[in-house]
């Protein structure tokens, strides 16, 4: 007889399923989990611990309570477990993670916001990212955060900005959901006269019409270069984009160069994904099938009458007489 699971084991199993739900489907999974558990206390414990992790990892976008804009739920915007900063509007919202809605909103405190000097760079990068998102991800959202050095008041110190991009397309009525998530860390290192750009991109998709196929593709990239005072004339290749970033450049010039770098990497990665998946039927899918049966000979579909089973069935059913 199978041993009964403890309440703790049930909660841990429920949490695993919730956290690993496909893009946009955690509420559907939660409904099934609740009906299977038949224990409201266990379900509520699992949900309260899983939804915040899921929402942050999937970079979900929620509408502000006054409908004036949207806020991304990320670890970079998290002030505490339920409060998240929207740097674009300088507002802090309270989030109900399980319902996935914003419930309250307040102005951000001074200590929750970067200095005026850093805010110039953050705002310029935010403005350029909005332009890029409108071109590349029509249903996408972006936000820019200062994660290090937010109290820097003037040139001469290091600071770090993060650009978060999130785009999702949910169509459960058509049995498919998908998401794009990318995070770009941009470190300005004044002492080394260097800027470092590192990106993490992730694509998730789920197709479940008469089956269950999931995609979870990830890619990371890094770039770094010495900061130079002189801007190169040729801005078309990646290294010149990085080389053009210097302490003397305006925030607007820096933002344009950085977004060009991001555009280059994301376009390149999406193109590689498209090429890979267009070849799936002729490569990966064929490799998943046995090339020959255990007899090591191809099945003669053109002449099945050579098999006794076929002859017996034909004779019993009186076919071909």
Please report how the helices 26-37 and 7-19 are oriented relative to each other, as an axis angle in degrees rounded to 10. 160
Say if residue 284's pLDDT is above 50. Answer: yes
Say if residue 297's pLDDT is above 60. Answer: yes
Tell me, yes or no, if the two domains 1-57 and 114-277 fold the same way: no
Torsion of CA 85, 91, 92, 98, to 10 degrees: -90
Here the tokens at position 45 are 């414990």
Say if residue 209's pLDDT is above 90. Answer: no
- Sign of CA pseudo-dihedral 228, 233, 235, 240: negative
Over residues 296-310, mean pLDDT: 61
Say if residue 313's pLDDT is above 70. Answer: no
Share of the chain above pLDDT 70, in %: 78
Mean pLDDT score of the chain, rounded to an integer?
A: 84
Read off the pLDDT band of 68 (50, 70, 90).
Answer: confident
d(CA 21, CA 112): 32
Could you say which of 3.40.190.10, 3.30.1490.20, 3.90.870.10, 3.90.1150.210 is the CATH number of the domain covering 114-277? 3.90.1150.210
Read off the pLDDT band of 307 (50, 70, 90).
Answer: low
Q: What is the pLDDT of residues 13-62, one digit of tens each?
A: 999 999 999 999 999 999 999 999 999 999 999 999 999 999 999 999 99
Domain spans of the chain, in order of start: 1-57, 61-109, 114-277
Partners of residue 23 on adjacent β-strands: none
Higher pLDDT, 125 or 67: 125
Here the tokens at position 269 are 């990665």
Q: Residue 27: what pLDDT?
A: 95
CB 66 within 8 A of CB 91: no
Cα distances from 183 to residues 56, 165, 198, 309, 320, in angstroms, run 12, 6, 8, 60, 67
Superfamily of domain 61-109: F-actin capping protein, alpha subunit (3.30.1140.60)
Lowest-confidence pick of 149-153, 245-249, 281-285: 245-249
Partners of residue 91 on adjacent β-strands: 86, 107
Cα distances from 264 to residues 60, 169, 242, in angstroms, run 24, 23, 12
d(CA 268, CA 253): 23
CATH number of 1-57: 3.30.1140.60
Say if residue 305's pLDDT is above 70. Answer: no
Lowest-confidence pick of 116-130, 145-159, 216-230: 216-230
d(CA 153, CA 170): 43
Read off the pLDDT band of 119 (50, 70, 90).
Answer: very high
Q: Residue 224: what pLDDT?
A: 65
Read off the pLDDT band of 249 (50, 70, 90).
Answer: low
Closest CA to 123 of 255, 249, 259, 245: 255
């Amino acid at each position: 007889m199978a041993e009964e699971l403890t309440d703790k084991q049930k909660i841990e199993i429920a949490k695993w399923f919730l956290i690993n739900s496909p893009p946009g489907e955690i509420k559907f999974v939660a409904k099934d989990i609740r009906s299977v558990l038949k224990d409201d206390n266990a379900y509520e414990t699992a949900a309260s611990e899983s939804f915040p992790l899921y929402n942050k990892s999937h970079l979900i976008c929620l509408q502000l309570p006054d409908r004036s804009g949207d806020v991304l739920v990320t670890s970079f915007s998290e002030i505490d477990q339920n409060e998240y900063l929207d740097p674009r509007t300088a507002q802090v919202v309270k989030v109900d993670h399980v319902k996935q809605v914003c419930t309250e909103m307040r102005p951000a405190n001074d200590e929750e916001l970067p200095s005026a000097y850093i805010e110039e760079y953050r705002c310029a990068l935010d403005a350029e990212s909005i332009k890029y998102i409108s071109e590349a991800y029509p249903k996408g959202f972006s936000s820019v955060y200062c994660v290090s050095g937010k109290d820097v008041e003037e040139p001469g110190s290091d600071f770090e900005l993060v650009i978060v991009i999130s785009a999702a397309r949910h169509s459960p009525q058509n049995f498919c959901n998908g998401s794009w998530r990318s995070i770009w860390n941009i470190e300005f290192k004044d002492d080394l006269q260097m800027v470092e750009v590192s990106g993490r991109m992730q694509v998730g998709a789920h197709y479940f019409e008469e089956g269950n196929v999931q995609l979870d593709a990830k890619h990371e990239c890094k770039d770094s270069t010495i900061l130079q005072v002189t801007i190169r004339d040729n801005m078309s290749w990646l290294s010149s984009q990085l080389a053009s970033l210097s302490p003397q450049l305006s925030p607007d010039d820096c933002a344009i160069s950085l977004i060009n770098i991001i555009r280059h990497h994301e376009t390149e990665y999406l193109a590689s994904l498209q090429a890979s998946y267009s070849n799936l039927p002729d490569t990966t899918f064929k490799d998943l099938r046995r090339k020959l049966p255990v007899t090591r000979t191809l099945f003669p579909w053109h002449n099945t009458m050579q098999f006794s089973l076929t002859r017996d069935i034909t004779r019993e059913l009186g076919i071909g007489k």
